[in-house]
Amino acid sequence: MAAARYTIRPVTSGDEAEVPVQARQRRRRHRLLVWAARAATLLIVIGGWQLFTTWKIVDPFFFGQPSGIARQLADWAEHGTEYGSIWLQVWITMKEALLGFAIGVAGGVIFGVLLGQIRFLADVLGPYIKAMNALPRIVLGSIFVVWLGLGTTSKVMLAGVLVFFVVFFNAFQGVREVDRNFVANARVLGASRLAIVRHVVLPSALTWIIASLHVAFGFAIIGAIVGEFLGAQKGLGLVIASAQNNFNPDGVFAAMLIIAILALTAEALISRLEQRLLAWRPQAPSEASLT
């Protein structure tokens, strides 16, 4: 009797047309459930935080309060920060992060492809690049501030350096992993070295490069914020630093929230770009996982 309970029931009533319909229903149900669980998680964390601080189980002086963060954001939107409007701070930080990102990606791809293609260069420069990568590059931030002043340039540089290494190592590896059959085939067909890079090496390495961009943009924002933290006249990092100095945890968290929103937006844009550029692939893995 017990065995009968485990017989596999036919999922459909035998009609093929019902298969996609049922699959779609199942998918919709799944999605609904995921979103409900996400909302519940958020509610528990934020609600718990609010309640625990209201009941003084944890001290709102150190941990801030969701309601306080909301008030802080409203206040910034209305009156601005002590360094000008909040939009200006966002714009400055974004500008630094984006410029640094662009410089770092360009440099990383160019050096990655060059060193990946030219063995001699890779052998000569390899140890130095590894050594530089091993340095805690955040420290460079203070040096850049000394060299380049309190303006945006020092932050762009820091963000660029952080991004460079992430992209460089991926581009280098991607170039090294190019299928040798592809290269041999292109050579037999009469391709010049430059044509091989353009038609074979770069597109092949693109999967690796784009994968690194997700991490790289995070680093660009870190670079910009830390740079501002170390010394700046404007920007979200400076807002955080001054909130911290005024014992205002709500301010720190509010700025963090803004940064998180910016980072998520950028992440979504990069995913878009990824889907566009890698449309030839059977299925982008990013589609299947975190979206």
Partner 1 sequence: MTVLTGPEVRREASEHASVELSGVTKRFLTPGGTAFTALRDVNLAVEPGQFCAVVGPTGCGKSTTLTLVAGLERASAGVVSVGGRAVDGIVSGTGFMFQADALLPWKTVLANVALGPVFRGTSKKEAQADAREWLRVVGLSGFEDHHPHQLSGGMRKRVSLAAALINQPSILLMDEPFAALDVQTKAIMHNELLTLWERTRPSVIFVTHDLEEAIALADRVVVMTAGPGTVKGVYDIDLPRPRGAVQEIRFQPRFVELQRQIWQALREEVERAYARTAAVPVLEEVARS
- Cβ closest to partner 1, residue 184 vs residue 268: 184
Considering only residues 197 to 236 of the shown chain, the ones binding partner 1 according to CB under 8 A are: 199-200, 203-204, 206
Neighbour tally for 189: CB within 10 Å: 10
Tokens of 18: 């019902």
Neighbour tally for 284: CB within 10 Å: 17
Stretch that binds partner 1, among 12-20, 120-128, 165-173, 194-202 (CB under 8 A): 194-202
- Are the C-beta atoms of residues 270 and 214 closer than 8 Å to each other? yes
- Cβ closest to partner 1, residue 25 vs residue 192: 192
- Cβ closest to partner 1, residue 27 vs residue 193: 193
- Are the C-beta atoms of residues 263 and 221 closer than 8 Å to each other? yes
Considering only residues 97 to 156 of the shown chain, the ones binding partner 1 according to CB under 8 A are: none
Member of 186, 211, 256, 263 binding partner 1 (CB under 8 A): 186
Which residue has 């009968």 as its token pair? 4
- Cβ closest to partner 1, residue 163 vs residue 171: 171
Which residue has 């975190």 as its token pair? 290
Stretch that binds partner 1, among 75-83, 158-166, 186-194, 248-256 (CB under 8 A): 186-194
Q: How far apart are CA 42 and CA 252, in angstroms?
A: 19
Coil/strand/helix, residue 11: coil
Chain contacts with partner 1 (rule: CB under 8 A): 179, 181-182, 184-192, 195, 199-200, 203-204, 206, 278, 280-282
